[in-house]
Structure 1
């Protein structure tokens, strides 16, 4: 009886953890129409994209003549919205890649960020970072941000984009994807932290 109880608790915890991860991934895609003014090649999605607008801004750019943006249009926006792309991982397998972009924000309340995810053939995330520990908040001028992930040999697809949670607006411009060496640390939030076998910094001098 005790064993069954323990197994039940473990299953519940695993399910809760899976739900916690999945709810932060783009869940709902929005049918694309010509009047949406979305940038070519980009898909609108998120957990609640209907509380937001997205498009191309011809008045704002980091360089050049335009940028893409996400903006809340509800007085109490729920969830998050993202503009995203996906592409096959064939050319990047067994490599470490860096996604770089410039972001600008205005009055962001819940967080704005760049994100990238590496999926296997059934859509399971193998590596992921959405800057959840370092989101952009408030108002910031154009700032360069990076995400670095390893692309495992079994990778099938790479998804990336930028997202907005809560009120405000975020712009993105000049995105690039490049391969980097192992000297560049990854930002993967799915990686297990290194086990610690002894205490450290006990005098707080490190």
Structure 2
């Protein structure tokens, strides 16, 4: 799925599911995305970096993606370089998964975005670190972040950390998905 479609789907999903938090997720976390055959929850996990972990479990043949996420005001992060880290584990990821973070500025969604689709988590693997690093625009109003799974399999995540990092830390995102002009162009053919 294209990055711009994922950004749009996450935005629509957040609005549609904001009041419908699945049982078992802590306050502030929600599950969204077009995949309807996925279960998001917090589960006990022996041998994990923490005793309980977030888990996205999607049935084989699942189409689309599901995400466990949070959305916060960006006041403490606007105009700064921000890093989201977590420990992740995958089991039979049919397509791919990853951490993601997005900054929105007013009516302009995705002014900064990275979902690891250029360095996807695939297959099966044990606990390992993952990160996304973005420059959050000074006019950002909302920061959304979490992890996603496209297709079937199980992706677990824990030990999330969201922090401001030095400017020398390399970014992982590619900036805006689509920058729209602020004024119309060529209303009359030249």
Q: Same fold (TM over 0.5)?
A: yes
Equivalent residues of 2:21, 2:31 under 8 A apart: no
2:6 to 12, 24, 49: 24
Q: Which has the higher helix share?
A: 1
Structure 2: distance between partners of 1:84 and 1:191: 20
The answer as to whether partners of 2:49 and 2:87 remain within 8 angstroms in 1 is no
Counterparts of 1:22 and 1:134, CA distance in 2: 16
1:57 to 23, 38, 43: 43
Higher relative contact order (Cα pairs below 8 Å, separated by 6+ residues): 2
Query: How do 1:69-88 and structure 2 match up within 5 A?
Result: 69-73=55-59, 75-88=60-73
- Secondary structure class of the residue paired with 2:25: coil
Which sections of structure 1, spanning at least 5 residues, go unmatched? 1-18, 193-206
Gaps of 5+ in 2: 178-190
Report the CA distance between 1:61 and its aligned residue: 6.1
Deviation of the 1:64 alpha carbon? 2.9
Structure 1 runs, 4 residues or longer, greater than 4 Å off: none
How many residues are paired up? 171
Q: 1:126 to 1:165 in 2, by over 3 A?
A: same
> Residue deviations 1:156-176, cap 9 Å, x none?
010001000111100000000
- Equivalent residue for 1:168? 153
TM-score under structure 2 length normalisation: 0.82
| CA pair 159-179 structure 1, distance change in 2 beyond 3 A | same
Q: How does 1:5-154 map to 2 (within 5 A)?
A: 20-25=2-7, 26=10, 27-28=12-13, 29-30=16-17, 32=20, 36-48=23-35, 50-60=36-46, 62-73=48-59, 75-154=60-139
TM-score, normalised relative to structure 1? 0.76
Measured at CA, do residues 123 and 55 of structure 1 come closer, stay the same or move farther in structure 2, by a change above 3 Å?
farther
Seen in structure 2, the aligned counterparts of structure 1 residues 33 and 102 have a Cα distance that, compared at 3 Å, is closer
Structure label with greater radius of gyration: 1
